[in-house]
Structure 1
Amino acid sequence: MMPAARESLLDAAYAALTRRPWSAVRMVDVAAAAGVSRQTLYNEFGSKDGLARALVRREADGYLAGFDRALTVHHDPRDPRDRLTAAAEWTVAAAAGNALVRALLTGCWSERLPSPTLVRIRSGSAVPAQRRADGPLPSPADLVALVRDRAVAVLAGPGVPRTDTAELARSCELVVRLALSCVAAPPPTEGGIADLVRRALSRQPMP
């Protein structure tokens, strides 16, 4: 199957999930919405659990890609605090707009959502994308480490001493954890996560 058709099926599954609990989402309806046969859907994902894993994997990848964009696009490249603030704002916005991203970041999976095991499962799929989806899915701790390390890689740059990189890593993790706290309990202030991050980073050494 072409990647575009796989994406269409995942789009259809996600759209169905916004309207009803995952337990009520039917494979036949997902296939019909994507304009393919139910057998084609099973050939691609193997089962409804396989479809759920692929959907969760895609939303995790989308969150990480958005985090990377927030660090690099439309912000002052000379100001790491500005870029980290943008990444924190992206994290809060992504969780607010996507229940699967919120569940991935917090570990709280409601009854409406699929709740695939995060460990690798035995995969008999011949589809490379599905074999990846059948691999381990990120836990909240995994995502904190991933985005912290991505931020350090983007912001450290060449020639930054190792001691400064260690300080930067602590600052990046602080920002990520502040963002996650705002996902769980949105701040009452008008400035929201941006004000929290700027105040926290004003007291942190940055390269």
Structure 2
Amino acid sequence: MTRFRESVRSLLREQVLNAAYDLVAARGWSGLRLAPVARIAGISRQTLYNEFGSKEAVGRALVEREAERFLLGIQQELDAHRDDLEAAAAAGVGFTLQQAADNSLIKAVLTAARGGDDHLLAYLTTRPEPVFNTATAMLDAYAADAWPEVDEESRHLAVEVIVRLTVSHIVQPAASPEESARRIAKITVRTAQYVRPDPAPGAADDSLPA
């Protein structure tokens, strides 16, 4: 019974967040109201308030859900380039910047911030346990496993650099996602003091035909 209730609650939250996402995409953050969210999700306002409590809580959950999706996509990009830190960094940053440029919620967050309402933007940067901290922890753990030859201090610095620069380019793009990703990747590699290790003696060279 407990598992069933958890499944129902998870489904309810997804319905609410899907409805909220569509409304924010159509009307912006300032146009989001909980009554329409409840109606579109097919639940009562009281049920919505019982689950989330406030518009701000819905916003925080929206940002956290999108961040989780971003991080899963980033990990897939990193997995495809584990043999080359610079290529991995460029792929991860490029994916993030391109997705952010196309993401309706991110656009709404930035539009609201430029209009003076930085409530949702704060969840990315300054609120307790912001997305910034989650991304930093995930990338640091990933880098420690994938590139153990980078010393701990350099790794911490490189991860902080890539996260901060990526967020900065999401908020205020300076070039195309591809060019920004290339530059951020180079800065990250230099910060990490990374030198691609030579193949082990006897290992196959992928650059040569079999």
Do these two structures clear the TM 0.5 threshold for a shared fold by scoring above it?
Answer: yes
2:100, 2:106 within 8 Å by CA — same for their partners in 1? yes
Of 80, 85, 88, 2:85 maps to 80
Distance in 1, Cα, partners of 2:85 & 2:16: 38
Q: CA offsets, 1:96-124, max 9 Å, x none?
A: 233654788x8x73449682696xxxxxx
Q: How far apart are 1:167 and its partner, in Å?
A: 1.6
Equivalent position of 1:65 in the other structure: 72
Q: Which moved more, 1:191-200 or 1:5-14?
A: 191-200
- C-alpha change, 1:80 and 1:110, in structure 2 (3 Å) is same
TM-score when scaled to structure 1?
A: 0.68
Indicate whether 1:147 and 2:135 are aligned: yes
> Which residue in the other structure is 1:51 paired with?
58
Report the CA distance shift for 1:35/1:110 in structure 2 as closer, same or farther (over 3 A). farther
Structure 2 contact 90–181 (Cα < 8 Å) conserved:
yes
Give the Cα separation in 2 of the matches to 1:115 and 1:57: 14
SS for the counterpart of 1:29 is: helix
CA contact (8 A) 2:38 2:48 kept: yes
Paired position in structure 2 for 1:91: 96
- Compute the TM-score of the two structures, normalised by the length of structure 2: 0.67
Equivalent pair of 2:159/2:188 in contact (CA under 8 Å)? no
Which of 29, 45, 51 pairs up with 1:38?
45
The equivalent position to 1:180 in structure 2, one of 156, 167, 188, is 167
Equivalence map 1:156-171=2 (5 Å)? 156-157=144-145, 160=148, 164-171=151-158
Compare CA radii of gyration and give the structure with the larger one. Answer: 2
Greater share of helix? 2
Instruction: Decide whether aligned partners of structure 1 residues 10 and 190 sit closer, same or farther in structure 2, where only a CA change above 3 A counts.
Output: closer
The structural deviation recorded for 1:15 is: 0.3
The one-letter code sitting in structure 2 at the alignment partner of 1:32 is: R
Q: Which runs of 5+ in 2 are unaligned?
A: 1-7, 196-210
Determine what percentage of the aligned residue pairs are the same residue. Answer: 30
SS at match of 2:119: coil
Partner of residue 129, structure 1: none
Whichever residue aligns with residue 38 of structure 1, its letter is R
Runs of 5+ consecutive residues of structure 1 not aligned to the other structure: 119-136
Moved more, 190-199 or 6-15: 190-199
With over 3 angstroms needed to count, the CA separation of the structure-2 counterparts of 1:111 and 1:146, relative to structure 1, is same
Supply the distance in 2 between the matched residues of 1:172 and 1:117 (Cα, whole angstroms): 21
Output the amino acid matched with 1:62.
R
Deviation at 1:159, TM superposition (A): 9.3
Paired with 1:155 and 1:179, the residues of 2 have a C-alpha distance of 17
Sort the Cα spacing of 1:87 and 1:117 in 2 relative to 1 into closer, same or farther, 3 A.
closer
Name the structure 2 match of 1:14: 21
